[in-house]
Amino acid sequence: MGLYQKTVLDNGIRVVTEAIPTLKSFSLGIWITTGSRDEVARENGLSHFIEHLLFKGTERRSAFDISREIESVGGIINAFTGKEYTCFHAKVLHKDIALAIDILSDIFVNSIFDPQEIERERMVILQEIKMVEDTPDDYIHDLFHRCFWGDHPLGYPIAGVVENVLSFQREEIVTFFRENYTPDKMVVAAAGKLDHQQLVELAEAQLGRLQHAPSMVKREGVQGGKARIKVKYRELEQVHFCLGTRGVPYSHKLRFAGHTLNTMLGGNMSSRLFQEIREKRGLTYSIYSFLNTYTDTGLFGVYAGTTKDEVQEVVALTLQELKAVRAGRIRTEDLSAAKEYLRGGMILSLEGSDGMMGRLAKDEIYFGRHVPLEETLQKLKGVSEGDVDDVAQEMLDSRTLCLTLLGTMEEEGLPWKGLDL
């Protein structure tokens, strides 16, 4: 890969870059280790609200100016909020590096949080929440997180809830921003055709004025996850469900085994769940597994959508596959295929400067260092059947087995009194 470099500005902002001279693009991200996990119940949705508002005008630019200046050079600007971080990012040609850092820094340092824009964006976010709730294969994941994590912030929906979004006032928004978006929680990551020292100087000029005042906000730890079954009744053609247990943390020693296990179970079209339930039996159009990893915990789950008449069979078959893996019934050829699938996906994801930029930032956030691709691939290659068995024993635990259903079902009439692995 390219040349990795890291510099820490005087105020604590970390600047990490990977120079790839053969590329023509440049991707830049300002990452902040604040997300929906860092909100208390009455604040749920603030991180996502702030993500929207930072594009709504600064002391120097209107909302229209922000998008026009980037798009007039063929660039892209956007942002996203996660459970543990928020990212504001841009992708431009190499010649427009200074413009990209100027605009992203401007919206971060000089946003005015105009009251009229707050009211307009409030309505946009309410529409976004309604859109998710109208999309059952999305909404079921919010319900599942709430079922699994309970009242812990990891169970909160990233976009927040309607009553919160309606109640947020400018003073509360600005206070949350000042207390949670501090230099010690910031990573400036860039990849592509770039000069590290040039980027450091630009970042220092634009972001160095931010005061070195570490955030006093402490993230709540988590135990979370206990066996339960929850139903959300809704008139739908299908019943959608998520079934899952506790996963492993982002930096866990068995994380590669965890991702390998997830791939074998439901990570692609040749996986056990897809082949057994969709291809052989035709019981569902969509079924897959997922592994969400966080700083100190994780969540493994399976999603499927099927008819009310067949949901009991699909759940039973899903449990059957989980039990088989937990019992160690893993074929060597399946393990090899899953590792090669992950290896290829990692390499392909780094063919663009934006993929490289994201990897740089997450390495810094979760490991505090650059993790070379070769090191990652070597650890993935070393995953053994024993490792997969170990992670299966750790993750697939009946004590944290949670089932959430969305559709025309009543909780009183469920065929399950409990679930077991």
Question: According to the model, what pLDDT value does residue 216 have?
Answer: 73
Quote the tokens at residue 416. 């399950």
Is residue 221 situated within a structural domain?
A: no
Please answer whether residues 111 and 166 qualify as being in contact, where contact means their C-beta atoms are separated by less than 8 angstroms.
Answer: no
Please answer whether residues 35 and 182 qualify as being in contact, where contact means their C-beta atoms are separated by less than 8 angstroms.
Answer: no
Question: Are 154 and 300 members of one domain?
Answer: no
Quote the CA–CA distance of 270 and 267 in Å, as a whole number.
8
Of the three residues 207, 242, 273, the one that is the final residue of a domain is: 207
Of the three residues 207, 240, 259, the one that is the final residue of a domain is: 207
Question: Are 12 and 143 members of one domain?
Answer: yes
Quote the CA–CA distance of 356 and 26 in Å, as a whole number.
10
Question: According to the model, what pLDDT value does residue 224 have?
Answer: 62
Return the CATH number at 283. 3.30.830.10
Question: Are 325 and 201 members of one domain?
Answer: no
pLDDT under 50: residue ranges of the chain: none
Is residue 220 situated within a structural domain?
A: no
DSSP string, 86-109: EEEEEEEEGGGHHHHHHHHHHHHH
DSSP string, 239-298: EEEEEEEE---TT-TTHHHHHHHHIIIIISTTSHHIIIIIITT---S-EEEEEEE-SS-E
Is residue 222 situated within a structural domain?
A: no
Question: Are 168 and 278 members of one domain?
Answer: no
Is residue 216 situated within a structural domain?
A: no
Question: Are 406 and 317 members of one domain?
Answer: yes
Sequence-ordered alpha helix ranges (H) in 368-409: 373-381, 385-395
The model's pTM: 0.95
Structural domain boundaries, residue 170: 3-207
Question: Are 143 and 246 members of one domain?
Answer: no
Is residue 420 situated within a structural domain?
A: no
Question: According to the model, what pLDDT value does residue 357 have?
Answer: 97
Question: According to the model, what pLDDT value does residue 218 have?
Answer: 79
Is residue 219 situated within a structural domain?
A: no
Looking at the structure of the chain, the number of domains it has is 2
Question: Are 200 and 238 members of one domain?
Answer: no
Question: Are 191 and 247 members of one domain?
Answer: no
Question: Are 152 and 25 members of one domain?
Answer: yes
Of the three residues 178, 207, 236, the one that is the final residue of a domain is: 207
For 412, which DSSP code?
G
Q: Which residues contact 196 (CB under 8 A, 6 or more apart)?
A: 3, 5, 7, 15, 17, 19
Question: Are 125 and 184 members of one domain?
Answer: yes
Instruction: Encode 4-31 in three state secondary structure.
Output: EEEEECCCCCEEEEEECCCCCEEEEEEE
Listed residue (173, 80, 159, 172) closest to 126, CA to CA: 159
For 408, which DSSP code?
S
Question: Are 275 and 369 members of one domain?
Answer: yes
Q: Which residues are catalytic?
A: 51
Is residue 215 situated within a structural domain?
A: no
Is residue 242 situated within a structural domain?
A: yes
DSSP string, 343-374: HHHHHHHTSSHHHHHHHHHHHHHHHSS---HH
Question: According to the model, what pLDDT value does residue 214 have?
Answer: 75
Collapse the DSSP code of 164 into the 3-class scheme (helix H, G, I; strand E, B; otherwise coil) and give the result.
Answer: helix
Buried b (16+ CB within 10 A) or exposed e, 206-234: bbbebeeeebeeeeeebebbeeebbbbee
For 309-357, the pLDDT digits (tens) are: 999 999 999 999 999 999 988 888 999 999 999 999 999 999 999 999 9
Question: Are 76 and 156 members of one domain?
Answer: yes
